[in-house]
Amino acid sequence: MSQLVVILGDHLNTKISSLANFNKETDKVLMSEVKEEATYVKHHKKKIVFVFSAMRHFSNELQNHGFATIYVKYDAADNHGCLFEQVKYTCSLHTFKSITIMHPGEYRLLEEVMTWESKLNITVNITPDNRFIATQTFFSDWADGRKQYRMEFFYREMRKQTNVLMDDKQPMGGKWNYDADNRKPFGKNPDIPSRTLLAPDAITNEVLTLVETQFSDHFGELSNFAFATTREGALGVLSEFIKIRLVDYGQYQDAMLEGNPWLFHSHIGLYLNTGLLMPYEVIQAAEEAFLNGHVPINSAEGFIRQILGWREYVRGFYWYFMPSLKENNYLEAKRALPDFYWTGKTRMNCLSQCVNDTKEHAYAHHIQRLMVLGNFALLTGIEPKAINEWYLVVYADAYEWVELPNVSSMVLFADAGNLASKPYAASGSYINKMSNYCKSCDYSVKEKTGTQACPFNYLYWHFLHRHQDKLRSNPRMGMIYSTMSKMDQTKFNHMLDDADTFLLKLENNEEI
């Protein structure tokens, strides 16, 4: 009698909890390129290549370390199409006393796994997801009884618990957060280091051919695939970031530059979210770079906050508020997703740049996602389920636990403020300040009304006007509503009319 350990495509680390009690003499691992998981949304082609290749490499690593591994490729004759059927089929071929699986990262998958015991008449053990530092209980204990669930306060608790960037009980440098130092736009001709590129090996090339054949109708481009697909490669990407880009990451983390999506960012989200990297080793590397004097505290803290703060917080937030989180639509957004989110064909240069970067790379950094693509979705009232699916499809690091809170709660303010203290709404002036996109745009960011005006300008005021019953009482919105009340009414009405005209064109899928 032995146990079957089921390893999912985002659990790719030998230190995962489900392998802790693995008996190499009797137990087996099952890994499968599940058709249902690859197609329940039409994931970006590069994301599928990354996940399948990383799975195949990890399977080889397990076998090299003496783990008996059953691996089912996507086009294998014995691929049964969904995870449960694959597990059921495997159990029919062997005698197992139990099944062990680490806690899935997504609610829908956990619900399915919880039915296996009764369906298969076999003990199913769900072990804790140790790809995170905070347990779900830690988050729920912190959240219970609170009226507001602000990441900043959760982050401080995580700093205290882990002793990261702490001097006794106080934050190093005297401040918890150096965000005020991290909002600089680029000057002329910034010297930006190259992205870390890894050439595909034989395994990845085999998967590239598979995806081109089996997923030809999926979003995205396959050319120039350069992601790491092994733990060794992911560690190399992390090391190069720490040595070369982290020093300037802080001050430029919100900046955007036409034709350069990578900038000073780490590009490791996809590796963290599949287990190729573990959060504690990433945080330790950044902290050591600061303690050794290689990077300033604003860069180290800003980067660490994204992992120890934001990533941990969002994961806890997801499980705390599911399943209602998926149905939230506080602002009653109903508009369909415009076609240009798939094609990049729009006269608005910032949107075109961000969509095309996403299409080519399965990547865009957080400000492109939040303040360009997300801001447009918020201002125009795109229906939450539609835009959530888009974000889940297009990014290589996207899984529902991280995508849904970021999009529904942060981008769309769909939960009425549980996550964000106010909507992340902005006019064209923010994009102009933080990027050079506006210089090459058909629209003028300086114009507020008329056919040449930047649509973000009048859409911003239209958004505030149509939602004032719900937003005016927000303490952080008082100043802007005070400004709105003092605006010249004729000019304000022109902006509302321009926005109505624009939104009608959007609904009719006309070029904008």
pLDDT, tens digit, 9 for 90 and up, residues 198-229: 999 999 999 999 999 999 999 999 999 999 99
57 with 100, same domain: the answer is: yes
Strands 69-72 and 28-32: parallel
Residue 369 in tokens: 């996602």
Which residues 6+ apart lie within 8 Å of 465 measured at CB? 484, 496
Provide the b/e sequence for 58-77 (b: ≥16 CB within 10 Å). Answer: bbebbeeeebbbbbbbbeee
308 with 349, same domain: the answer is: no
Mean pLDDT for 258-276 is 96
Check whether 189 has a pLDDT greater than 80: no
Check whether 1 has a pLDDT greater than 80: no
Q: Within 13 Å, how many C-alpha atoms sit on residue 440's CB side?
A: 12
In which domain, by residue range, is 78 found?
2-127
Of all residues in the chain, the percent with pLDDT exceeding 90 is 95
Beta-sheet strand order (sheet of 69-72): 69-72, 28-32, 2-6, 96-102, 123-127
Tokens 């530092």 locate to: 133
176 touches 155 (CB < 8 A): yes
298 with 363, same domain: the answer is: no
372 with 398, same domain: the answer is: yes
Q: Look up the pTM and report it.
A: 0.95
What's the CA angle centered on 70, arms 6 and 399, to 5 degrees? Answer: 40
pLDDT at 184: 86
Boundary (domain end) residue, out of 292, 321, 350: 321
Mean pLDDT for 306-327 is 97
How many other C-beta atoms can be found within 10 angstroms of the C-beta atom of residue 209? 12
CA atoms of 241 and 238, how far apart (whole Å): 5
13 with 114, same domain: the answer is: yes
| Total of domains in the chain | 3
Boundary (domain end) residue, out of 100, 127, 154: 127
pLDDT at 182: 81
Mean pLDDT for 350-379 is 97
Mean pLDDT for 354-358 is 98
101 with 16, same domain: the answer is: yes
pLDDT, tens digit, 9 for 90 and up, residues 125-182: 999 999 999 999 999 999 999 988 999 999 999 999 999 999 988 999 999 999 888 8
Boundary (domain end) residue, out of 93, 127, 161: 127
119 with 146, same domain: the answer is: no
pLDDT at 236: 98
Q: What is the CA radius of gyration of the chain?
A: 24
Mean pLDDT for 430-457 is 96
Check whether 17 has a pLDDT greater than 70: yes
How many other C-beta atoms can be found within 10 angstroms of the C-beta atom of residue 303? 29
Residue 176 in tokens: 């918890």
Enumerate long-range contacts of 149-155, CB under 8 Å, 24 or more apart: 149/317, 149/320, 149/418, 149/419, 150/421, 151/309, 151/310, 151/313, 151/419, 152/176, 152/177, 152/309, 154/309, 154/312, 154/313, 154/316, 155/305, 155/308, 155/309, 155/310, 155/313
CA atoms of 376 and 390, how far apart (whole Å): 14
CATH of the domain at 424: 1.10.579.10
Residue 185 counted as domain residue: yes
Provide the b/e sequence for 442-478 (b: ≥16 CB within 10 Å). Answer: ebebeebbeeebbbbbbbbbbbbeebeebbeebeebe
How many other C-beta atoms can be found within 10 angstroms of the C-beta atom of residue 439? 10
Average pLDDT, the chain: 96
pLDDT at 180: 83
Residue 330 counted as domain residue: no
CATH of the domain at 112: 3.40.50.620
φ, ψ (nearest 5 deg) of residue 108: -60, -35
Residue 230 in tokens: 């092994």
Residue 208 counted as domain residue: no
CA atoms of 480 and 376, how far apart (whole Å): 19
CA atoms of 259 and 184, how far apart (whole Å): 18
Q: Range with the lowest mean pLDDT among 34-43, 181-190, 502-511?
A: 181-190
Q: Range with the lowest mean pLDDT among 250-254, 302-306, 354-358, 499-503?
A: 250-254
- Return the amino acid letter for 92: S
Residue 222 counted as domain residue: no
160 with 303, same domain: the answer is: yes
122 with 143, same domain: the answer is: no
Check whether 242 has a pLDDT greater than 70: yes
pLDDT at 285: 98
Task: Look at phi and psi of residue 228 and say left if phi exceeds 0, alpha if psi is from -120 to 50, else beta.
Answer: beta
337 touches 387 (CB < 8 A): yes
Residue 139 in tokens: 């988050």
Residue 328 counted as domain residue: no
Residue 58 counted as domain residue: yes
CA atoms of 445 and 436, how far apart (whole Å): 11
306 with 194, same domain: the answer is: yes
Mean pLDDT for 75-81 is 94
Residue 213 counted as domain residue: no
Residue 224 counted as domain residue: no
466 with 436, same domain: the answer is: yes
pLDDT, tens digit, 9 for 90 and up, residues 460-469: 999 999 999 9
Report CA-CA distances (Å) from 425 to 155, 228, 457: 24, 35, 11
175 with 315, same domain: the answer is: yes
Q: How confident is the model at residue 114 (pLDDT cuts 50, 70, 90)?
A: very high
